[in-house]
Structure 1
Amino acid sequence: MARLLYTLKLALMEEYIAFLPQGTITTQQQVLKIRTFADFITHIYTTCWLPYDTAIDAAWNDLTLYHHLYVYKSIDTGIAASTIKALERHLWYLTGEMLPLALFSTKHKPADLPMRAPQLLFGTGFGKRKFPALLPTTSLAKLTNSDCWFCMDQLHIDPVFLSLDVEDWATSAAFQAGVANVCAINVIND
């Protein structure tokens, strides 16, 4: 975060820095890079990263960020490719275990028995999760898998509301109890 703030500060002070002797703070090549990165921060990063602080919006937020980055390739392929690569190492909220939290989001709504442990893990079932492969057309519905039941079970969410029409979820006692459980989870953006 410090690098982002420092970049924005340099971009905002660009006119004043220009009056200093050349190379005092930035070189001519660095000025263009700072301006380009500041554009990325203000148009992509802050709009997708900072406003969300609840777990229920995290999956939607991460997928939206991915889609925005894919479009941003037409503006700056270097920044977009680097950011997509970094994002693909942090897709925790798009795994089957965490995806059910998105059911309680107001951002987007798109039959097995609950399981006792996630199944889609590397190797022995411990450690890093298998992150999904994203495409520009990927939706949250396409990311659901059998591990979604694990999250529902662990958060004591009664899936009975899933048999209702999406419009009726808000009036369901099971959905409202699930919202209370899920909204109590804090999100940490790393």
Structure 2
Amino acid sequence: MLATPTNEPDVAAGGRAQALAAPLDAYTRGCARLARACMWTSVFGLICLIIAVSLQIFGRHVLNSTPTWAESLALLLVLYVTMLGAAVGVRDAGHIGFESLLDALPAAGQRRLRIFIHLLVLLFGVLMAWNCGVLAESVAAYKIPNLGISNAWKYIPATLSGTLIALFSIEHIIAILRNQKVVPAWR
């Protein structure tokens, strides 16, 4: 008697889904670790920023001689702190959103619109990373006067942030397609 392959496609599809789930779960875990590392880096940068500004104030008001590098360092640190924080804000959905149109749609429409929104954010991240990388390359030969480092360091945070925004947008799209939610990095 011949066996009928009634449930073989289901088993094969389930096996493929299971095989695909592990890398997607690993990608999500990697994004969560990356977001946590970015937040800890931002916290460290914020502490350094506070120290640099405090030295600047102390130098100006107590020593009557402001350290020349403190302001330039503080401005550079602001870029790193805000750009890394912005990328994590995209991942953790900590940004401003208008939900009224989304709530007015049926469930299928909401899903499509969420994917479309994350595709737009992905495009924004890619374009930001690319163009800021081009800017960094174009000014790499110039130096930040008070720090003596390449002017490209001013554009690296936005390049990094754009890359992270793209990665985190992909994570959101995958989560929507899998009917899951992205768990914020700090939980």
Please state which band the TM-score falls in when normalised by the shorter chain.
Answer: 0.3 to 0.5
TM-score for the superposition, normalised by structure 1: 0.35
TM-score for the superposition, normalised by structure 2: 0.35
Q: Which has more helix, going by share of residues?
A: 2
Q: Which has the greater radius of gyration?
A: 2
Structure showing greater relative contact order (alpha-carbon pairs closer than 8 Å, 6 or more residues apart) = 2
